[in-house]
Amino acid sequence: MADTTSDNRTPNAGDAPPKRAASGGASRAAPGGTAGRTASGGTARKRSTSARTPAAKAANKTTAARGARTAAGRRTREAAQAQSRAAKATADQGRITAERVTLTTLGAALEARDRVVGFVNDWVSTFGPPFTGGNGASEQLRAFERRGTTERSRLEREAKRARTRFERELRSRRRDAERAVTRAKEQVANLT
């Protein structure tokens, strides 16, 4: 920190250099100076003929330190703003990259689907429809129906399991909460 002044005060960040007294007001005499009386009865500092007093030097050091702190604060703010801008730019770049990857993947999947559909259409037109007879078509439809029924049943079982698990957890938590409330009531009753 800065050196102490000759009147044993340490300068703080909010201290201003000593001010001269307005006419009619009281002020402190400079250390080592002679105090005289003004017309209104107050005391005034006399100017020293020496070059600079230790108090003036300390005031200049305080002012210089305050300026250095202000500059350091400004540099810190500017660095934080630059870092914030860099983080935003990085986030934007990441978002753009993720978007490009997603669009590329989607485009590749759609292209593959188009090629498969084109292949199947060519194959069917070349080798004929797979449902040539009436029995083959109905068998295929029954197989699809069985597959759909199996999948529906599986999904219903999973939904029922999830519901049961949720209800069991809910009952357990409710029971625990009721026990905690009962214990708290008992403790309050024991205090009174």
Question: Please, which pLDDT band fits residue 162 given cuts at 50, 70 and 90?
Answer: very high
pLDDT (average), residues 150-170: 95
Contact 14, 70 (CB under 8 A): no
pLDDT value of position 161: 96
pLDDT (average), residues 47-72: 78
pLDDT value of position 6: 47
pLDDT tens digits, one per residue of 96-116: 898 888 889 888 988 999 999
100 to 87, 96, 97, 112: CA distances (angstroms): 20, 6, 5, 18
pTM: predicted TM-score of the whole model, two decimal places: 0.29
Lowest mean pLDDT segment, chosen from 45-59, 63-77, 86-100, 154-168: 45-59
Contact 13, 66 (CB under 8 A): yes
Tokens for 49, please give them. Answer: 């003929």
Contact 55, 31 (CB under 8 A): yes
pLDDT for residue 164 is more than 90: yes
Distance separating alpha carbons of residues 128 and 173, to the nearest angstrom: 62
* End-to-end Cα distance, the chain: 58
